[in-house]
Amino acid sequence: MSENESTEGVRLQKVLANAGVASRRVSEELIVDGRVRVNGLVVTELGRRIDPENDLVDVDGTAIQLDAGKRYVMLNKPTGVISSMKDDRGRRDLREFADDWEERLFNVGRLDYDTSGLLVLTNDGELAQVLAHPSFGVNKVYIAKVEGTVTPATIQRLTRGIELEDGPIHADKARLLDTSAGSSLVELTLHSGRNRIVRRMMAEVGHPVVELVRRQFGPLHLGTLPVGLARELTKVERGALLTLSRQGSGANDAVDPTGETHGLSDGSSEGRENS
């Protein structure tokens, strides 16, 4: 960056091109067509300069990642792994999955020790704080293998609502996927972040969880990512996640930029995990 750009900002079309949105020429067309916003306001002037470190840019309503130092990783967490970057009891933790990246990553929210599936690792503390905040309520989709034969009436009960010791709860969506050999597969969509909520809900309706996997977190889908592997989010996935985060940035007034509160601080916190 030249001295002139550092003091007065960088031309918007150059910022878009550097972020991989499009070539500089196509980026200029996007600006002229009114498809680019800076800090929520449409910009159509090609001479507009911005501060990539502080300004928020979106194209067609999708947030653009301008900070190349931010990392966003999807992990298919195995069972038997604690959702923490360090476990004082010596159990397997998330460090082994984060070591492939130079940045110091931490987890967004939690999956309990016996739950596998989609977990986001990042060094973006603000995004993590927003997405993990209970008042934001990111949708999560789980597949649960449970004991017994689940009936349509049980599915209706899950969506209608049940009473737990810490208050009422209902699934946003629930459907029966399969029944065989004394067990059933149930898909549950929830926005609640309450502790071990899927296991407690299924136990309350008489079908304790045998296996549990989280397949979706907000706009992110686990897809074919094998258990125990991690990958960086694609440009499209990053855009969707950042857009969701910015929409909910008002949900939490106290943002911890270090992200230290995400994941379990030590093994004693296992009972506070979320699914």
Could you report the per-residue pLDDT of 51-85, keeping only the tens digit for each?
Answer: 988 899 999 999 999 988 899 999 999 999 999 99
Q: From the candidates 112, 124, 178, 256, give the one annotated as an active-site residue.
A: 112
93 belongs to the catalytic site: no
Cα–Cα distances (Å) from 247 to 55, 228, 240, in that order, read 15, 31, 11
Distance between CA atoms of residues 57 and 43, nearest Å: 10
Per-residue pLDDT, 171: 96
Distance between CA atoms of residues 205 and 158, nearest Å: 8
Strand bridging mode 115-122 / 209-217? parallel
* CA-based nearest residue to 114, from 187, 214, 263, 189: 214
Distance between CA atoms of residues 192 and 194, nearest Å: 6
Question: What is the residue type of 64?
Answer: I
Res. 175: pLDDT tops 80: yes
Helix (H) or strand (E) holding 131, with range, is: helix 125-132
pLDDT in tens, 117-169: 999 999 998 888 888 776 777 899 999 999 999 999 999 999 999 999 999 99
* CA atoms within a 13 Å half-sphere pointing along the CA-CB vector of 162: 19
Check residues 89 and 184 and name the one with the higher pLDDT.
Answer: 184
Residue 89 in tokens: 């009891």
pTM to 2 decimal places: 0.83
